[in-house]
Amino acid sequence: MVKEVCVLPTFERGSVDLGEIAKFRYQGDLEKEVGGRLSKEDAVGMLEWMLAVRAFEQMIVALKDGRVKPYEGFAFTGATHLSIGQEAVAVGTMAALRPDDYITSTHRGHGHAIAKGGYAILAMSAKELAAFLGEPYRGEPREELLPRALDMHLFQTMAELLGREDGYCRGRGGGMHIADFNVNHLGANAIVGGSLGIATGAGLAVQKLGQDRVVVCLFGDGAANNGIFHESLNFAVMDQLPHGLPVIYLIENNQYGMTGQQRGEVTGIDHLARRGAAYNRENMHAEVVNGMDVLCVWDAVKRAGELCRTKKGPVLLECLTYRYMGHSLSDQRVKYRTTEEEQAWRSCDAIETYERRLIEAGLVSGDETAALREKVEASIQKALERAARSPEPDPATITEGLFADSTSDDISAELRTPKLLRPMRQYRRDSQGQIMYRHAVCEALGEEMERDRRVVLFGEDVADYGGAFQVTVGLLESFGRERVFNTAISEAAVVGVAAGASMCGLRPVGEIMYIDFMPLAMDQVANQAAKTRYMFGGKAKVPMVVRTTVGGGRGYAGQHSQSLEAMLTQVPGLKVVAPSTPYDAKGLVKSAIRDDNPVIFIEHQLLYTQKGVVPEEEYTVPLGVAAVRREGKDITIVAYLKMADVAVEAAELLAAEGIEAEVVDPRTLIPLDVDTIARSVAKTGRLLVVCQAPKTGCFGEHIAYRAQEIAFSSLKCPAKIVAAYDVPPPMAQTLELEHLPNPEKVAREAKAMVG
């Protein structure tokens, strides 16, 4: 399929007009806002929530230095990244959002969590408040339930900070990883910039699902220098999307990354908002905002939200603010910043300035604000007392929440794709009912996309070209660019967007062309997609698939031929699939897409043209169930992907010499079907594992260990591994052939073991 855009050479002399980026646009008046866009209750509420955020974090300081102890022997552990001084950004942002809008947050995100949850609770009906409290609704008036719900919110936030079971994430995340999926808070993130891909994916889901929502991605100035920042913003503005994604990228510029100063030290610009000019023709509507004024932030986010809701997003906002404390409480900030600087910022303190404006406008009196402070501090104290005495997680539950045990096997008819743009390509079977491996994968992708309109496919070159190995040929013609589209060469964005989109209702399939490129995306793979469910207390589903390939045997050398699957199996929270036959490839693709967990689906390049019997009728292959490729009684050979074929060929060589080898193909590495392997070892008494990766640290070592752990008494000799050399894959054919396991090497080792 030829691309719609024809790019022709134009070399006319001129210049590129970057336009202007506004600074400090809002000059509103509080008195005029009240009665207009704000009620008196709204205006005073902003002060109350800023006070709550500061009181919460001041309590952390008191806990850390021991001035406050809820009971004798209490010890506070955990991170202490505070946002004291930055309250206007958190409260102004959340006050401008609707309750069902999404946010992502940072390791300095207590204020984001408190304000997001608080404003969402204020918008709840009586019935919703009862549900939030975990109680049946018995007709109680909303006025009775609301204070209890707000207390519960502060308690659950405090309980998470203290690592308690009743915390929002059951104590699994702590202060740096608070999330509340009930109010579309997709989580705080301890990786600088880690949530940028997730927020972009959430925006993709909002757009594809036709929802009237926006996503606010809050991150610090340090993250604006990170690779995922650039990859995500570029993804969000791609011309091929129907319109830009509805994401507000909000830089909470508190002037310091850790100790590195944004202005005058680690960047070459005065305002990070200027970077909006790099991404689209509208400069991403970039704007510099007074982040010490809650009304300025509120106005900017409100206007940005309207742009996103009217399909004119995304938007980049830079809110200038200041953190009064160091990076953490162990950071002596006086070592790298002056007293003069700190005093200047404190002179425009967000809370004190706004409190004065409320009093001057006649909306509250000094006595009333004093009473408000007392009320807020009492509520924080109450939350602390309750949280400190609430139960800690039971060690017996340590593995709970890692994987979802659900799938999308049973879905409603409304989720089917209503109509294809063109009938899907039919792969004709030969006389034996066989098709190629790559066609089996494509057939599975197409069937699942037709079955479930939430399945989208994206990655480098997957659309018009059909992927580097022609696996996705024809899918664009059937489903269009709404469902099948190319991305930039941005591996981290591909995975991060898939994670965020899956958390918000899509079932994305992202492609990373070679597993060698996976290290470019490992933060998004290992710290985001894999950890999201467990870290947030088992309350998220991340139904995403990342397809990738391993190689060897094609002369592609050290950066296109590696077998890095062990790097992925080491990460708790991922399922890793490695099919060796066309039948298994199709059935496992379907199971992977339907699974409610992140799945890494590994395909071997040398298998793409291999043929096998693939039924035309519907079927799936379950994850975590091995296949016995050949029966035998003398030795068990375990191998996966292309090495399963090598093992079968080796078994034939051995059979010619009277040795019957049983070949077990795990099919999925995580979960690993250890029981099938152990049963085979119990029968044969010997175990040989074949792996294309370098021997040191390969997944074959884990297979051998687990088999020996379970079936040690059956073994007649130690388990052995045939693997590649401990070198990067070489290009020269003589070296590559020596590098990789082959049937002769496997048979030779097996014969030595049988004796």
How many angstroms separate the CA atoms of 477 and 440, rounded? 18
How many angstroms separate the CA atoms of 223 and 225, rounded? 5
* CB-count burial class (<10 Å; 0-12, 13-18, 19+) for 282: middle
Helix (H) or strand (E) holding 511: strand 507-512
Tokens representing 412 are 């409603």
3-state helix, strand, coil in the chain (%, to 5): 45, 15, 45
Question: Could you give the dihedral angle defined by the CA atoms of residues 550, 554, 560 and 561, in that order, rounded to the nearest 10 degrees?
Answer: 50
Comparing CA positions, the residue from 89, 143, 140 lying closest to residue 111 is 89
The catalytic position among 327, 560, 604, 702 is: 560
Three-state secondary-structure class, residue 748: helix
**Whether 560 is catalytic:** yes
Neighbouring C-beta atoms of residue 339, cutoff 10 Å: 8
Q: Between 294-309 and 40-64, two packed helices, what is the crossing angle to 10 degrees?
A: 110
How many angstroms separate the CA atoms of 192 and 555, rounded? 38
Q: What is the DSSP letter of 403?
A: S
How many angstroms separate the CA atoms of 252 and 339, rounded? 22
Instruction: Tell me how far CA of residue 652 lies from CA of 219, 431, 666, in angstroms.
Output: 58, 25, 20
How many angstroms separate the CA atoms of 94 and 113, rounded? 9
Comparing CA positions, the residue from 112, 134, 88, 129 lying closest to residue 180 is 112
Helix and strand totals (H; E) in the chain: 24, 20
Question: What residues are labeled active site?
Answer: 560
